[in-house]
Amino acid sequence: MRGIVAAPGMALAPAYIVTQPEVCTEKRTITDVAEEMERLTSTASACYSQIEGIMDALDGSVDSQTVEILDFQLLLLEDTDFIGKIENAVSAQEVNAEYAIQSVSEEYIAMLNDITDNDYLRGRVADVSDLSQRLINELSGVGNKTAEPEGPYIAVGRDIAPSKVAELDKSKLKGIVLEEGGITSHCVILARSLGIPCLIEATGILLELAPDDLLLLDAVSGEALIDPDAGRTQAYREYIAGKEKEKASLIKYISLKSESLDGIEMKVFANVATSAEAADVVGQGGEGVGLFRSELLYMSQQWRAPTEEAQYAEYSAAAKALEGRPLIIRTLDVGGDKQISYIDIGREDNPFLGYRAIRYCLDHHEIFMPQIAAMLRAGNDGDVQMMFPMITCKKEILEARQIVARARADLDAKGVAFDHDMKIGMMVETPAAAADAGILAKSVDFFSIGTNDLSQYLFAADRANAKLTALNTPFQPTLLRVINVISTAAREEGIEVDICGQAAEVDELIPVWLAMGITNLSVSIPRITAVRRRIRSLRKSECELLLDNVLRLETVEEVRQELREFSERS
């Protein structure tokens, strides 16, 4: 069976077919409303406990996106626009809870689909569907957790709910194959964060597969083979042996310095969303946090923004966990694909081009000031640095700095300790900021290039649109020339310049970043040692010759070929 590689890797194990139990949601009139309400309330409470249990069992083994998926479902169970409407349907219409959940969920999903087609809300639709099915299963007595095989297995299904994947035994789950799914589906996000190979759009596999059939998942070439022959089995074993050897070889890089063969330092930072992840950065030898996504703190709140004290506690904990290493906190990046219920931005036809990030914060000091104050206070507990997202012009930097000055004055007046000399930087992720990099570099202490957003804005191509993937590749020569302009401006002004987008951890591109004079690379935690190994294999003098060639190329294919040939030589 052919499919699309969603998370790379290989696995060989019996198939475990994950099916959705048949439950009845047919409308019934009830006679005892109080009893039905009690039934619904106890079911919602049980599901809340189940999801909390799943989150506790993850124990930091997945990234912040995974936590966000489950946390959103907990918020739904407390949301009057969701669970409240279900309760109202039961009491006002005198209908059974199963029907009420199904009908309200369908209305909620339709509402989300009508708002916009952005990727964030598409993900929320899947979460609502997943939660409603959990509630109905619990009400119907079929349960949500089915017996797993005793040994290792590959989970196969049409599409598998994210909460189902999260509660599977990770020591047994070796791979995932989906007949449907999508490259940005939450099941796929979970698979990536867990390091589990995943193949999607394997059309017809459920018709061919029987439970316990031996399945070879090749999420490298994009195949799933039932009862593989001896040759393919041997190839799998050689692949796994190579991966284990590579994993063992990376351990030594935890304690080695991130510098090239000719002594040029380029530090390896990590992207995180919680203070708990900061300790993992240190454990993997990370030299700091290049991007702390503060919006998860806001998303975890149901009715209002987190208080200054709550934010200070989180930022301080992260700073202390890093033991003096830099902690770069991005201020609230709301809007675009990050919608927060109590922040009413309003409906926008083009949310990625809308009222988001620094644009919103500059107009809403009641949201922005407590965050700035919390960051300044946390600066007393470590090397905290502040970073503004979505900057397009110098005016925005000056206005943001004025708010920082006000926060400092307020803390001084209250006699509260804070960092008086905190470094302040900005994301370079818009074409306007890139074009004016020389001007903006005079107003900040560092740049951080968000290659994901920069690419989509540069090419006017939604990065969540699968049809536009070819435009959003980091191998675009135009993108590389723009990044070179940004890094040159930073170097001429004597400020640091980081890359925190996905391109930071692409092996073939690391020689380009070294040659450009990029100061730090901020990557996913599991990639820290592999990125450091690549840095230590390079000579900047040789990379500079490569960069001269790359900047003259005109197509993605030419860039890939040039970088591939260089990698084979170095």
pLDDT per residue as tens digits for the range 515-547? 999 999 999 888 899 999 999 999 999 999 999
Residues 6+ apart with CB under 8 A from 561: none
Does residue 500 carry a catalytic annotation?
A: yes
Are the C-beta atoms of residues 321 and 283 closer than 8 Å to each other? no
Average pLDDT over residues 139-163: 80
SS3 percent helix, strand, coil of the chain, rounded to 5, is 50, 15, 35
pLDDT of residue 555: 96
Rounded to whole angstroms, how far apart are CA atoms 258 and 72?
38
Rounded to whole angstroms, how far apart are CA atoms 115 and 28?
31
Any idea which of 17-21, 221-225, 278-282, 565-569 has the lowest mean pLDDT? Answer: 17-21
Domain boundary among 140, 157, 179: 140
CATH of the domain at 319: 3.20.20.60
SS3 of residue 176 by DSSP? strand
pLDDT-derived band of residue 250, with 50, 70 and 90 as boundaries? very high
Find the catalytic residue in 47, 186, 187, 361: 186
Domain boundary among 76, 106, 140: 140
Phi, psi of 170 (to 5 degrees): -65, -20
Top mean-pLDDT range of 27-31, 281-285, 434-438: 434-438
Residue 116 confidence (pLDDT) above 50: no
Give the mean pLDDT of the chain: 87
Higher pLDDT, 399 or 461: 399
pLDDT of residue 71: 78
Residue 239 covered by a domain = no
Between the alpha carbon of residue 539 and those of residues 10, 55, 160, 202, 262, the distances in Å are 33, 44, 46, 43, 6
Rounded to whole angstroms, how far apart are CA atoms 196 and 11?
9
pLDDT of residue 123: 56
Residue 59 confidence (pLDDT) above 60: no
pLDDT of residue 227: 93
Residue 131 covered by a domain = yes
Same domain, yes or no: 269 and 128: no
Same domain, yes or no: 341 and 475: yes
- Of the chain, the end-to-end C-alpha distance in Å amounts to 36
Residue 146 covered by a domain = no
Residue 238 covered by a domain = no
Residue 117 confidence (pLDDT) above 50: no
Residue 458 confidence (pLDDT) above 80: yes
Find the catalytic residue in 47, 198, 361, 500: 500
pLDDT of residue 512: 98
Both tokens of residue 188?
């796929």
Residues 6+ apart with CB under 8 A from 236: 10, 12, 216, 218, 228
Q: What is the pLDDT of residues 36-49, one digit of tens each?
A: 999 999 999 988 88
Rounded to whole angstroms, how far apart are CA atoms 8 and 219?
5
pLDDT-derived band of residue 342, with 50, 70 and 90 as boundaries? low
SS3 of residue 178 by DSSP? strand
SS3 of residue 45 by DSSP? helix
Top mean-pLDDT range of 3-17, 190-204, 402-416: 402-416
**Percent of the chain with pLDDT strictly greater than 90:** 55
Residues 6+ apart with CB under 8 A from 39: 97, 139
Average pLDDT over residues 196-222: 89
**Which amino acid is present at 44?**
A
Same domain, yes or no: 267 and 125: no
Average pLDDT over residues 358-384: 95
Pairing mode, strands 446-449 and 496-499: parallel
Residue 331 confidence (pLDDT) above 90: yes
Residue 457 covered by a domain = yes
Residue 184 confidence (pLDDT) above 70: no
Sheet holding 153-157, edge to edge: 4-7, 198-200, 173-178, 153-157, 9-17, 214-219, 223-226
Q: What is the pLDDT of residues 70-95, one digit of tens each?
A: 777 888 888 777 888 899 989 999 99
Residue 82 covered by a domain = yes
Residue 447 covered by a domain = yes
Indicate the number of domains in the chain.
2
Kindly provide the residue ranges of all beta strands, DSSP E only, lying in 383-485, ordered along the sequence: 383-388, 424-428, 446-449
pLDDT of residue 66: 64
Lookup result for tokens 């005198």: 94
Residue 268 confidence (pLDDT) above 70: yes
Please count the CA atoms within 13 angstroms of the CA of 107 that sit on its side-chain side.
12
Residue 58 confidence (pLDDT) above 90: no
Domain boundary among 78, 107, 140: 140
Average pLDDT over residues 152-173: 83
Does residue 186 carry a catalytic annotation?
A: yes
Residue 150 confidence (pLDDT) above 80: yes
**pTM of this structure:** 0.70
Contacts 24+ apart (CB under 8 A), 429-433: 429/389, 429/390, 429/453, 429/454, 429/457, 430/390, 430/391, 430/392, 430/454, 430/457, 431/457, 431/458, 431/482, 432/392, 432/393, 433/391, 433/392, 433/393
Residue 159 covered by a domain = no
H or E element that contains 510: helix 510-516
Residue 385 confidence (pLDDT) above 70: yes
pLDDT-derived band of residue 479, with 50, 70 and 90 as boundaries? very high
> Could you list the residue range(s) of the whole structural domain that residue 25 is in?
19-140
Any idea which of 240-249, 307-316, 425-434 has the lowest mean pLDDT? Answer: 240-249
CATH of the domain at 131: 1.10.274.10
